Amino acid sequence: MKLKPKAIAGLSISVVLAILTFVIQPDMIGMEDVKGVRTLGVLLITIVLLMTETFAIPVTCFICIAFMYLFGATDKFSATLAGFTNTTSFFVIVSYALSIAITKMPIGNRILFFMMKIFGRSMKGILLAFMVTIATLSAFISNVATAAIFVAICISFLDIYGDDEDAKKQAGKVFMVCIAISATVGGMITPAGSSLNLLGINLIESLAGIRVTFLQWIVLGAPLGYLSVIIAWFIASRMFKLPELDITAIVAYRDNLKEESIPDKMSFKEKYTLLIVFLMFALWIASSWFPFWDVTLVATIGCVLMFIPGIQVLTYKEYIKGVNWTPYIVISTFIMAGQMLVANKVTVWLCTFVLPSSLDMPIPLAVMVVSAIIFVIMVIVPSAPAIINLLASPFAALAVASGMSPLFLMLPLSMYAGCVIIFPFDVVPSITYAAGYYGMTDLPKVSILLEIAMCIMAGIWIPIALGLVGLV
C-alpha cells in the first residue's frame, strides 16, 4: 500500500523530533530536567502524527503512551496509564448510555422536530438553532453529554439529504465542527457550565480576594459565549459551504419525521428515559454547589438505571455496539500527557518562556494579549485544569505588576481555558471527530479564526462588563 504524502511528512518530522529529543540537553533551552525535554518531544511527535493522520488516532495514542516510557519521560510505565483511570475518561464511557438511549427512543426526533418547526426555513437556520440549543444546554449541564446527544441527533438528521452522499458528508462536516465548538464555548455562559468555571472563581477569590457571583459571571460570560456561537456559525457555514435545500424539501422531511418516527403518545420506556435524563441534568447542575454529586458519579448512576431488569431501556449488546472507544483513548492519553507536563515542570518552563514580565499597554489590549497567550499554550498543553492551575498565580502577579486588577487577566483565563478547540484532542471535539465527518485539519479552519475573534471580544467586553457589575 502506497503511503500518502501527509503520512510520509508525519513520519519524517517525527523521526527528526525523536532525534532532537535525545540531542537537546535541558540547559540548552532553559529546562531543569532531561525528563522535561523528553516529555515535550513525545508530545510534539504525538501532535504531528495526529495532525498528519499517519496512523489511526488510537494507534497514535498508544505510540505516545509507549514513547513516554521508552524515551525516559517517566521511570514507571504505570504512570503512562494513569489517564485511563481518570474520572473524566470514565465519564466518556458511561455517558454513551445516555446518547444511545436517546437515539433508540423517539426523544431525539422529538427535539429535532421541535427545532425544525421553529427554525426550519433553511439549513443555515437549522444549523444555528442546533448551535444555540447546544450552547444553552452546555451552560447548565455537562458539555460532553450535550455533544454526545446532539451528535446522535445530527446523524439522524443528515438523512434529509436522501441519497446525495456528497451533500450529506459536507453537511455532516459543518454540523459536527459546529457541535464541537458550541458545546465547548457554551460552558462559559454560567458558572454551572463547567467545573473549570468554579475552579477559576475559587482561584480568583483565593489569589485576588474578589468574589465573583453567579449573576456577575453570567453578565460577563453569556455575551462572549453566544457571540462566539454566532461567529463560529458564520465562519463554518461559509468556510465549508453548507449544502442548502429548498424549503419544500425541509418541510417534507419534517412532516415525514413526525409521521414515521414520532408517536403521538410517549411509551413507558420513553418517559422513564426522560425521567433519568432530567434527574441527571438536575444533579449535574446541583454538583456546582454540592460536590458529592460528581458529574461522573451521576453519569454512572444514570447508565446503570438504563439496564434495570423489567424496564431495560438498553441491552448490554446495544450499549457496547454504540460506544465509540476512540474519544476514551484520546482523552486518557492527553490527561496523562498533561500530568507528565506538570510533573516534569514543562508547564513552568513554558509559562516562563511565554509570559512577559509586565504589560505596559492599555487594559483592553492587555486582555487581548493574555487571551491569545492562553490559546497558544493550549495547543501544546491541551489540558484545561493544568492550564488554569499553572497560569492563575502568574497572571495575578502579572496584573499587579502592570497596575491593573487581577480580574482583567484571570477572568479570560477562567473562561477560555476550557476552549480546547484547535484540534479534536479534548473530550467534546473528540466525540464529534469520532463520528467520521471531518478530518484533523478541518476544526482549526474554523477555531483559529474564532479564537482571534474571542481575543478581540474579551478585550472589548471584559473591561466594560467588570465596570457594569461593580467588580472594578
Copy the grid coordinates of residue 61.
495514542
Give the pLDDT confidence score for residue 358 in this predicted structure: 81
Give the pLDDT confidence score for residue 288 in this predicted structure: 60
How far from chain centre, in Å, is Cα 418?
7
Give the pLDDT confidence score for residue 131 in this predicted structure: 93
Residue 104 has pLDDT above 90, yes or no: no
Stretch 393-418: mean pLDDT: 90
| DSSP 8-state secondary structure symbol assigned to residue 422 | S
Share of the chain above pLDDT 70, in %: 98
CA dihedral in degrees (337, 338, 340, 345; nearest 10)? 140
Q: Give the span between the Cα atoms of 153 and 119, in whole angstroms.
A: 16
Stretch 132-157: mean pLDDT: 84
Give the pLDDT confidence score for residue 74 in this predicted structure: 94
Share of the chain above pLDDT 90, in %: 40
Q: Which residue has the higher pLDDT, 42 or 417?
A: 42
Band (pLDDT 50/70/90 cuts) for residue 305 is: very high
Residue 1 has pLDDT above 70, yes or no: no
Give the pLDDT confidence score for residue 415 in this predicted structure: 92
Within 310-444, strands assigned E span none
Band (pLDDT 50/70/90 cuts) for residue 179 is: very high
**Helical residues (DSSP H) of 105-194, grouped into ranges:** 107-119, 123-138, 143-157, 165-185
Calculate the average pLDDT of the chain. 88
Q: Give the span between the Cα atoms of 46 and 399, in whole angstroms.
A: 34
Band (pLDDT 50/70/90 cuts) for residue 107 is: confident
Q: Which residue has the higher pLDDT, 119 or 229?
A: 229
SS3 helix, strand, coil % of the chain, rounded to 5? 75, 0, 25
Copy the grid coordinates of residue 252.
417534507
SS3 374: helix
Stretch 452-469: mean pLDDT: 95
Q: Give the span between the Cα atoms of 147 and 160, in whole angstroms.
A: 20
Residue 372 has pLDDT above 90, yes or no: yes
Spans of all domains in the chain: 1-75, 87-325
Stretch 83-88: mean pLDDT: 82
Q: Dump pLDDT digits (tens) for 20-54.
A: 999 999 999 888 889 999 999 998 999 889 888 88
Stretch 253-282: mean pLDDT: 86
Computed on alpha carbons and rounded to an integer, the radius of gyration of the chain in Å comes to 23
Q: Dump pLDDT digits (tens) for 152-175.
A: 889 888 989 988 999 999 999 999
Instruction: Look up residue 135 and give its amino acid.
Output: A
Stretch 248-255: mean pLDDT: 88
Q: Give the span between the Cα atoms of 165 and 88, in whole angstroms.
A: 35
Band (pLDDT 50/70/90 cuts) for residue 424 is: confident
Instruction: Look up residue 254 and give its amino acid.
Output: R
Residue 362 has pLDDT above 90, yes or no: yes
Residue 290 has pLDDT above 80, yes or no: no
Q: Give the span between the Cα atoms of 43 and 37, in whole angstroms.
A: 10
> 335-344, 375-384, 402-411: which has the minimum mean pLDDT?
375-384
Band (pLDDT 50/70/90 cuts) for residue 234 is: very high
Q: Dump pLDDT digits (tens) for 346-358.
A: 877 877 777 887 8
| Closest to 17 in 3D by CA, of 88, 59, 71 | 71
Band (pLDDT 50/70/90 cuts) for residue 195 is: low
Band (pLDDT 50/70/90 cuts) for residue 404 is: very high
3-state secondary structure 376-426: HHHHHCCCHHHHHHHHHHHHHHHHHHCCCCCHHHHHHHHHHCCCCCCCCCC
